[in-house]
């Protein structure tokens, strides 16, 4: 069964068409890698699916339930998580960052603590608990952002170039984490050029050219 279906999705900026997708269907548990040149619409698509930007037109259906884009429904916001190419970390603590989405969902304190602990172990962040999040390296911030997403067990995960501008070691660790997302059956769309990500097992590939999906 399809988890996400979007049809006739259009987004323009002035005269320029950024996105024109006839149909995109994503099955539950499926992982997709989204490739395409700079400006092909990868980030635009992810930001629309995450409810950060709204399209000019298009229909959407999530788990059999139709939804509109503006306003993006709260129930869907709780199911979908998006991670920026260069993740933003809140100026609080590593633990508060990981717990943020759980607090937003009203998860009780004891369960929150247990899930945060598990996510910190998963992303190997324990040694950074006392570091101010803003001082973390690019790779550490990426792992923190992935832990922040992992702890929520989203039904749909959207990642924008998760391995871009990381050093070799951070890149390897990030790919390992992405593999566990896939192994856990998380439905994901990953905008990426990294061959090691594209070649992850059972990864479906979508190519975007000028805002259109040309290979699927």
List interacting residues with another protein (CB under 8 A): 47, 50-52, 74, 77-78, 80-84, 86-88, 90-92, 100-101, 103-105, 134, 148, 152
Residue 51 contacts residue 72 (beta carbons within 8 Å): yes
Nearer to another protein, 103 or 205 (CB): 103
Query: What is the nearest approach in angstroms of another protein to the Cβ of residue 157?
Result: 10
Q: Distance from CA of residue 39 to its chain's centroid?
A: 18
Alpha-carbon distances, residue 24 vs 32, 52, 102, 121, 181 (angstroms): 11, 19, 29, 35, 21
Smallest distance, another protein to C-beta of residue 163, A: 18
- Closest CB to another protein among 67 and 100? 100
As a whole number of angstroms, the distance between CA 174 and CA 110 comes to 28
Give me the residues paired with residue 213 across strands: 208
d(CA 63, CA 82): 18
CB of residue 190 to another protein, shortest distance in Å: 15
Of 7 and 131, which CB lies nearer to another protein in the complex structure? 131
Distance CA 36, CA 206 (A): 9
Between 156 and 182, name the residue whose CB sits nearer to another protein: 156
């Amino acid at each position: 069964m399809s988890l996400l279906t979007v049809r006739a999705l259009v987004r323009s900026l002035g005269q320029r068409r950024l996105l024109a997708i006839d149909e995109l269907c994503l099955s539950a548990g499926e992982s997709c890698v989204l490739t395409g040149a700079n400006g092909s619409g990868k980030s635009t698509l992810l930001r629309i699916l995450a409810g950060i930007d709204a399209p000019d037109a298009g229909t959407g259906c999530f788990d059999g339930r139709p939804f509109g884009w503006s306003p993006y429904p709260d129930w869907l916001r709780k199911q979908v998580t998006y991670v920026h190419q260069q993740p933003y970390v809140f100026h609080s603590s590593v633990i508060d960052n990981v717990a943020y989405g759980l607090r937003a969902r009203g998860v009780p304190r004891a369960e929150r603590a247990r899930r945060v602990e598990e996510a910190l172990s998963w992303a190997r962040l324990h040694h950074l608990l006392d570091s101010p999040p803003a001082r973390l390296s690019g790779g550490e911030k990426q792992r923190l952002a992935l832990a922040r997403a992992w702890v929520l067990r989203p039904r749909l995960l959207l990642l924008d170039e998760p391995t871009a501008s990381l050093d070799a070691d951070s890149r390897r660790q990030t790919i390992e984490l992405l593999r566990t997302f896939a192994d856990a059956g998380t439905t994901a769309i990953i905008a990426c050029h990294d061959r090691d990500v594209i070649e992850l097992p059972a990864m479906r590939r979508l190519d975007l050219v000028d805002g259109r999906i040309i290979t699927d």
